[in-house]
């Protein structure tokens, strides 16, 4: 692994971001720096804009009609991702995403993992095999599925499907992984496994995770950002947010008094 800059140096910088869905403004002047090789949790009550922000980072919001950045910028490695010379396809390869509801393709496990590489035109069987194994190991799924790689992914359990989606994401070697409430549809055991996996992944990837679950944010993130009504209220190391929040709204939320 190449040497990296100091862990505190930001990989994503969000400046003065205003974001609208048609006439409705979803984000107001958000300023946030997301550090590399750390887990950043976005928390807040429903509709506070945290998922919107997440989907801005790989421009999945482009797909929604009327959704647009009104003001401000998002820079990854200093490059404005909304600049015309940025290719959204390349961006998405670089910024992977795991969804709330696991969404494996109705294909075999192997083909699910190989999908991203095949898109890029990789045909080399040996290379595909290697990446599939590597990614499944990376997602801590290899031992469970290595004997049935060519069976349908829809036969896996919910937790396994979600880890498969993570494996599928890391197969294309992103630098950043976005997770949109990845455990909300899972039982506690599966959730624990995913959280464990997140801990392992942070060594290599910068992870941004949206979660409703305060304990989850506390357990597995390094940084936490609290959103309320489309505004970033507070951003600090997780320990500080949960033990010593600077803002009273944050305190009310993390202590469970609203939301």
Partner 1 sequence: MNAHPTPFAPRSRQRRLREGLVIAIFRAATYAVLLAGGGVFADILIKGSRTVFQAEAPFINTTFLFSAPESLHVFEWEGRRREMGDREFRAFREREPGAADVRAESFVYSAGGIWPCIAGTLLLVAGAMTLALAVGVSSAVYLSEYARDGRFIRFVRLAILNLAGVPSIVFGLFGFGMFVIFFGWNVSLLAGWFTLAFMVLPVVITASEEALKAVPQGLRAAALALGATRWQTIRTAVLPYALPGILTSSILGIARVAGETAPIMFTAAYVVRDRLPWEVERAVDFLFQGVMALPYHIYVVSSKIPQNEYTERVQYGTAFVFLLLVALVAAASILLRNRLRSRLRW
Partner 2 sequence: MPAPDSRPHLLARRRLRFLGLTPDDAIRAFFGGNAVVAVIVLALISYFLVREGAGFFGQNRRNLEVYRLAGLEFVDHLRAQEEGHTALTRRLSELRLQAFDRLSRGGADAEAAERALVGFDAYADRFGVAIDPLRALGSELGDVATAIKTKFVVNEDRKEERRQLSAEGRTAEAERVEVMPIDFAAAVKPLLAARDRHREVNRALAAELTSLLVAAPAPPVPELRESLERFGAEVRAYVSELPAIERRLETWDQSRPVSLGEALRAFLFGRQWLTASFWQDWYGLLPLLTGSLLVAGVALILAVPLGVGAAIYVNQFASTREQRVVKPAIEFISAFPSVVLGFFGIAVLGEFLRQVSHVPWLDWVPGFPFSERLNVLTAGCLLALIAVPTIFTLAEDALNNVPRALPEASLALGASRLQTTLRIVFPAALSGIISAVLLGLGRVIGETMVVLLCAGNRIAIPDFTQGLGVMVEPVHTMTGIIAQEMGEVVRGSIHYRALFMVGLVLFLLSLGINFLAQRILRRYRLAPA
Least distance from partner 2 to the Cβ atom of residue 242, Å: 29
Please say which residue, 37 or 92, places its beta carbon nearer to partner 1.
Answer: 92
Q: Taking Cα atoms as reference points, which of 162, 173, 115, 110 lies closest to residue 140? A: 162
Q: Which stretch binds partner 2 (CB under 8 A): 23-31, 66-74, 80-88, 244-252?
A: 80-88
Residue 192 touches which of partner 1, partner 2, none (Cβ within 5-8 Å per kind): none
- Residues near partner 1 (CB under 8 A) are 58, 60, 63, 65, 89-90, 92-93, 96-97, 99, 101, 103-106, 115-116, 118-120, 154, 165, 168-169, 172
Q: By three-state DSSP, how is residue 16 classified?
A: strand
- Does 65 bind partner 2 (CB under 8 A)? Our answer is no
- Does 91 bind partner 2 (CB under 8 A)? Our answer is yes
**Alpha helix (H) ranges present in 101-247?**
109-119, 125-138, 142-145, 158-171, 188-201, 214-220, 238-243
Q: Which long-range contacts (CB under 8 A, 24 or more apart) does 117-122 make?
A: 117/171, 117/172, 120/93, 120/172
Q: CA–CA separation, 114 vs 107, rounded Å?
A: 11
Please say which residue, 120 or 244, places its beta carbon nearer to partner 1.
Answer: 120
Do the Cβ atoms of 231 and 50 come closer than 8 Å? no
Quick one: which of 46, 65, 66, 87 contacts partner 2 (CB under 8 A)?
87
Residue 169 touches which of partner 2, partner 1, none (Cβ within 5-8 Å per kind): partner 1
Q: Taking Cα atoms as reference points, which of 87, 108, 114, 99 lies closest to residue 153? A: 108
Please say which residue, 2 or 66, places its beta carbon nearer to partner 2.
Answer: 2
Residue 143 touches which of partner 2, partner 1, none (Cβ within 5-8 Å per kind): none
Q: CA–CA separation, 148 vs 50, rounded Å?
A: 37
Q: CA–CA separation, 32 vs 234, rounded Å?
A: 10
Q: What is the DSSP letter of 92?
A: H
Sites of contact with partner 2 (CB under 8 A): 1-2, 4-5, 36, 76-77, 79, 81, 85-87, 90-91, 93-94, 173-175, 204-205
């Amino acid at each position: 692994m190449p040497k990296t800059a100091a862990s505190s140096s930001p990989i994503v910088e969000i400046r003065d971001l205003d974001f609208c869905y048609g006439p409705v403004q979803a984000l107001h002047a958000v300023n946030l720096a997301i550090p590399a090789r750390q887990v950043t949790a976005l928390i807040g009550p429903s509709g506070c804009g945290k998922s919107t922000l997440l989907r801005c980072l790989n421009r999945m919001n482009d797909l929604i009609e009327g959704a647009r950045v009104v003001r401000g910028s998002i820079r990854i490695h200093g490059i404005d991702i909304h600049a015309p010379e940025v290719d959204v396809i390349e961006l998405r390869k670089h910024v992977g995403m795991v969804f709330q509801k696991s969404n494996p393709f109705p294909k075999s496990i192997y083909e699910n993992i190989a999908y991203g590489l095949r898109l890029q035109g990789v045909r080399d069987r040996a290379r595909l095999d290697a990446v599939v194994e590597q990614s499944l190991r990376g997602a801590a799924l290899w031992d469970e599925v290595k004997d049935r790689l060519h069976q349908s992914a829809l036969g896996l359990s919910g937790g396994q499907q979600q880890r498969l989606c993570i494996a599928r994401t890391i197969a294309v070697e992103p630098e950043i992984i976005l997770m949109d409430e990845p455990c909300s549809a899972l039982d506690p055991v599966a959730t624990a496994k995913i959280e464990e996996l997140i801990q392992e992944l942070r060594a290599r990837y910068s992870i941004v995770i949206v979660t409703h679950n305060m304990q989850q944010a506390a357990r597995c993130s390094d940084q936490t950002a609290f959103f309320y009504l489309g505004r970033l209220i507070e951003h600090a190391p997780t320990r500080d947010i949960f033990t010593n929040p600077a803002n009273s709204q944050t305190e009310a939320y993390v202590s469970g008094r609203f939301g």
